[in-house]
Chains A and B, each alone.
Chain A
């Protein structure tokens, strides 16, 4: 694989391979000395045009644990503020000899554009509302390990709740979960659903969380972006919580084995109206831990597995 830009582009074989490699990386991360020499001499550049703490730190940690060198490009202190174009910025960094770019950008499709300007591998760390494939990978890996579903997600009932319309996490998660065989239900007010579900993988849609919560294997809560309030897409945050938030009453109705997931950052008291540390099914901290392992898997697959050479020769 040359690039990792979306789950659908990678396809089911790569998705399963990356989850398998992540098992090895998770083992590395459990060691007292969590570092291997696999990517010595490779350089990974994080280029974040949008704010992020966990994704950028996670990629940086992943690269370092594989012994790659890392560079961070922070837009706020860069020549972008002097009017440098995206293309010039990328070509300048590429000229320094970069093996992989990790890109976050507010425009959907930016990673595809950027890969036309460089011979380096491009990893999408979130583009607009479009895709966030390493988040989907870590979510799938977390479900796979927590529910011991190594082979497939056949028959797993997963609900993704919240602002589907503006969520790249939801789009990538839907692709990954359905690719692995899960039954995915989207739960949201109509104003927070995309205008059309054309192009989405087959999913069920409902506005009634209480009708399905007793049958779920995974409850995936999305962040309720407060800035949406200005757009009058929900009447009030309290109204949102009462219909779509995880309240103590709803937590009590979840099956005992069900997982509770959230991509972070969390809005406590809005979509998460209980203390997640008191929920036995919460795997939110495991999601963060697993993020490093799956990003190591992606970096190793792109830069270390030799698969590119095979494709190019």
Chain B
């Protein structure tokens, strides 16, 4: 059971990031008022990679990060410790915020991030970009931009970095 399986390699991840960057630009008609927000901690590298790719293709947009651990619905049920500090270097009011995470699973982290980001202001819209959608949603949340749909069993672990995606 502890066998590791590499699902995507570094080149696959790079191509997926490029495709998602194009999709974000296309969907948002030229990126007016769009900002990326990576979810601490796993989504931060992906938000930065998407930000760099969007800047290369079109023009730079603001990139921030958010820590949703003070908004989780399982506080007190299991150990949670805040990751890195939130950094939202732009006004959220009227901005189209693209939340970015590495792996989408139950949707509870995204729900916490939605609560967190709306404490900074009223976004014009919130979209969701994930590198891997592994299924098993427990809330009515779906991604707008997906690197790879990856059917998994809930006993498996999925790790997604710039070096690739590994199931174990």
Contacts and interface: CB of A to CB of B under 8 A. Distances in A.
B67 interface: yes
B121 to A, nearest CB: 8
Nearest to A24: B82
A21 B75 contact: no
A303 B76 CA distance: 7
Contacts of B69: 24
Contact of A38 (B71, B86, B120): B71
Interface string B62-92: 0000010111001111111110011100000
A306 B115 CA distance: 21
A151 B73 CA distance: 31
Contacts of B87: 27
A309 interface: yes
A244 interface: no
Nearest to B72: A38
Nearest to A38: B70
B119 interface: yes
B77 A309 contact: yes
Interface stretch (A29-37, A112-120, A136-144, A226-234): A29-37
Contacts of A38: 70-71, 75
Interface residues of A, number: 24
Given A37-B70, A37-B71, A38-B70, A307 B119 contact: no
B119 A300 contact: no
Contacts of B77: 306, 309
Contacts of A28: 70
A31 B77 CA distance: 27
A11 B109 CA distance: 31
B48 to A, nearest CB: 19
A21 to B, nearest CB: 6
Interface string A287-313: 000000000000010011111011000
Contacts of B78: 306, 309-310
Interface of B: 67, 69-71, 74-82, 85-87, 115-116, 119-120
Interface of A: 17, 20-21, 23-24, 27-28, 31-33, 35-39, 66, 300, 303-307, 309-310
7 contacts: A31-B120, A36-B71, A36-B116, A37-B70, A306-B75, A306-B76, A310-B78
